[in-house]
Amino acid sequence: MCGFVCLWKVDDVGGSLIETMLARLGHRGPDATQVARPVGLPLAMGHCRLAIIGAEDGVQPIAVDSEILVANGEIYNHGDLRAILDPDIFHTTSDSETILHLFRSGAQRWVNRLDGMFAFVLATSDRIVAARDPLGIKPLYMARRGKGLAFASELKAFDGLGFDDITALPPGALFDSAGGLRHWYRVPSGAAAAEPGLDVDAVAGELRLTLEEAVAKWMVADVEVGSFLSGGLDSSVIAAIAQKVRLAAGRAPLKTFAVGTAGSPDLRAARRVADHIGSDHHEYCFSARDIAENLPHVIYHLESADADLVRSAVPTLFAARLARRHVKAVLTGEGADELFAGYAYHHDYVEDPRALADELTRSLGAMHNINLQRVDRMTMAESLEARTPFLDRDLIAFAQSVPAELKLRRTDPDAPEATGPTTEKWLLRKACADLLPADLVWRKKAQFDEGSGTVEALQQALRLIVGGEGEVPRLREEALYREILRERFADPEMILSQAGQWNANRVAA
């Protein structure tokens, strides 16, 4: 995982501009920093690297002849692509180099062959190309300065430096200075009702196989990969499968990481899961004072003042900080709620599977500046790579083909396979029921910030900051977050204008 800056036809006398921008992204890649200014090109490229694959020789920018690349993320099928493209043409063991050679192959839909999470900028003698992975797991922003273009991994790189028209490149999009913007990937529409005679057990079995393949693929690395473990279904399933992968390969047990306030439900549940799967488990208990001291850090790196996003970012930061003491990359459970109907508001759709399927499709396309922004920014703030196997492209395609009425079901609250009158993520629970104790598989869902104890601790932290007694109203909380953000940025309105909102366009049926 990395951070990068690219200036195309932007005056940078003395190189101070790109150096300033790249310094603001240093947390994304502490292992190596490199700036390239190719002779004959109106270009400056800077890269800060967190070495995960090709650690010894994968320094960027990567150049072949007159073409040069900077990339952020992981290409999980890079081994297959090397074999297809010809191993002899590669100069490094970096997975990112496959992007450059795919482009040079001349195939019309070359970017579609990349399987992973990525953002990159590639320059030739006369054009510049930038692209982002299907769901926007990895960030990429584009801006203008005069007649030139600039690209960066985070908004803070542009802050107060005279850039215009700053915007995020959409997920699954490719920008070409010679041809404009095109969308190379679109989230497949979700299925609604099950066809007559559908073998539900067979569907659950196929889902399990697809999920196991995704986890194994997203664990590929030259460094050890751990796993966040909140004790909820999503992270527990990922951790259980990842542990099987490690043990089957003859490796030491998976390292798992849980955070929360002392005695919180998530810590207890995570400990039970860790004991069940036999992971090497690590915990951190945070306090209200810890939250108060870290809120400015959270909001600066999050690049958002949305209250719900800040609340969920707090425990994510502490989890990332804990994990980084032991590993450089972790698996997370992001995406399961959007694929399998895991949010509380989804229960309002139980009588309308078509509307539910459409909402799940919409929410998948909106993850990039909400949950995925939180995970990327909080982990990268601690120089940790986060991987989201639920958002594997093959798994997305299969999950979207599963009827929505198998994801959210009316159930008998007293039945063993139920979490209440309606059960969210029903098929996912069924597919993975043998991995975990039954009471954890069918445990009622809690938001990460609730189960971790963040909600009450955050209220105490807010009282420490603003003074006074009693509950701090949400409006005051939101105003405080905006105040903190405005103190940290020279152009806070630019940052605020780009931020997603947790409730954006979510209207129940």
Question: What secondary structure letter does DSSP report for 30?
Answer: B
Alpha-carbon distance of 272 to 12, in angstroms, equals 55
CA atoms within 13 A on the CB side of 162: 10
Question: Which CA distances in Å does 264 have to 96, 321, 322, 333?
Answer: 41, 19, 17, 19
Catalytic residue among 2, 6, 48, 432: 2
How is 344-366 classified by DSSP, letter by letter?
Answer: GGGGGGTT-HHHHHHHHHHHHHT
Residue 183: is it exposed, middle or buried by C-beta count within 10 angstroms (0-12/13-18/19+)?
Answer: exposed
For 306, other C-beta atoms within 10 Å of its C-beta total 24
* Partners of 180 in the β-ladder: 176
Q: How far apart are CA 493 and CA 495, in angstroms?
A: 5
Quote the distance between the C-alpha of residue 465 and its chain's center.
30
Q: For residue 285, indicate whether it is catalytic.
A: no
For the chain, the C-alpha Rg in angstroms (whole number) is 23
- Helix %, strand %, coil % of the chain (to 5): 45, 20, 35
Active site residues: 2
